[in-house]
Homo-oligomer: A and B are copies of this chain.
Amino acid sequence: VTVSSLSERDLIARIRARLPAAPRWLLVGVGDDAAVVEAERNRVEVLTVDAIVEGVHFDRAFVPPEAIGRRAVAVNLSDLAAMGAAPRLALLSLVLPPQLRLDDFDAIVEGAATVAAEHRLHIVGGNLTRSPGPLMIDVTVVGTVKRRQALTRSGARAGDELYVSGSIGGAAAGLCVLKQSPPPSTTSAVVDRYLRPTPRVRLGMLLSRNRAANACMDLSDGLGDAVHQICEASGVGATIDAAALPIDAETRRVFEALGADPIDAAVAGGDDYELIVAASPKRRRRLAAAERHGGAPLTKIGVCTADRAVLVKTPDGGAAPLPRAGFSHFGPS
């Protein structure tokens, strides 16, 4: 059975059936021309949209439909986390090839609804359309944050320390494992990192609340890209200590087995959805407090500099430009 054998109305009914009870602030939900919601008092709103496209952001050959649904929502939650915002609502725009199997559709919805519920994100509406092209899920999320507590990319200052949450390169290593032929018979931690990224929502909220960070963004396009972006937006440079980068043992093993340098590969690898944070050394205690309850360790990986060069200190004592690399959606970045 494919989605083309059901009406739009029936597909919407299947989504509604999977959603929890509407929150009180949702005045008109799924089923009208638009959703109507009450704004949250004394908070500003944080809005973002991100699409994942089959053949560009995921391959259905090795990403199960439930993981596709999870990822579509998780990448957007990661953007909210990067702003320090509390998740509030989402709109799901599903662009479906008519031959998509109905049980795959259900699994995509299940994955999206599950990760949304985990982060108190309410799906309040969306859109369904068929397409002759690839499966695509475009998700809009709205979160809230206290005014003046939104974390941006542009607040880093010379002397700030740079931290990264969790570990890096794991998702890229997981993707390498999944692409192996024949595919691996056992699951591994890095594969899970790729398939089911954990947005650092709680950590971002805590960093925002206790004003620990001067700047923050997520690593969707890799650490190299993120360091460059923060530096450009803030008008600073940075020196990253390659030896300090949190790269776990399995990730190193996967990259080494492929003949790749683990540091280069981890710096270039996207899809980690960790946070990079610039914080004044005076705020170390606040940072530690956020880390304690944020669900992920923070590792110091370098410092921001007045000199605008973005460098990486290599273990042999040298310094080289930090490669930007990372995922480029279009041409040269």
Q: A53-B129, A53-B133, A127-B51 are in contact. Are A152 and B91 (CB under 8 A)?
A: no
Interface status of A254 (Cβ within 8 A of chain B): no
Interface status of A271 (Cβ within 8 A of chain B): no
Q: A44-B39, A125-B47, A131-B136 are in contact. Are A95 and B53 (CB under 8 A)?
A: yes
Interface size, A (range):
35 or more
Interface status of A23 (Cβ within 8 A of chain B): no
Interface status of A80 (Cβ within 8 A of chain B): yes
Q: How far is the CA of A10 from the CA of B333 in the complex (A)?
A: 9
Interchain CB contact under 8 A, B83 and A7 = no
Interface status of A267 (Cβ within 8 A of chain B): no
Interchain CB contact under 8 A, B83 and A34 = yes
Q: Which B residue sits closest to A34, measured CB to CB?
A: B48
Interface status of A192 (Cβ within 8 A of chain B): no
This chain: how many copies in the complex? 2
Which residues of A88-112 have CB atoms within 8 Å of chain B's CB atoms? 89, 91, 93, 95-96, 98
Q: Which residues of B have CB within 8 Å of A143?
A: 34
Q: Which residues of B have CB within 8 Å of A28?
A: 83, 150, 152
Interchain CB contact under 8 A, B33 and A37 = no
Q: Which of B35, B49, B98 contacts A330 (CB 8 A)?
A: B98
Which residues of A13-62 have CB atoms within 8 Å of chain B's CB atoms? 27-28, 31-40, 43-51, 53, 55-57
Interface status of A328 (Cβ within 8 A of chain B): yes
Interface status of A11 (Cβ within 8 A of chain B): yes
Q: Which residues of B have CB within 8 Å of A140?
A: 47, 49, 91, 93, 140
Q: How far is the CA of A79 from the CA of B5 in the complex (A)?
A: 27
Q: Which B residue sits closest to A333, measured CB to CB?
A: B7
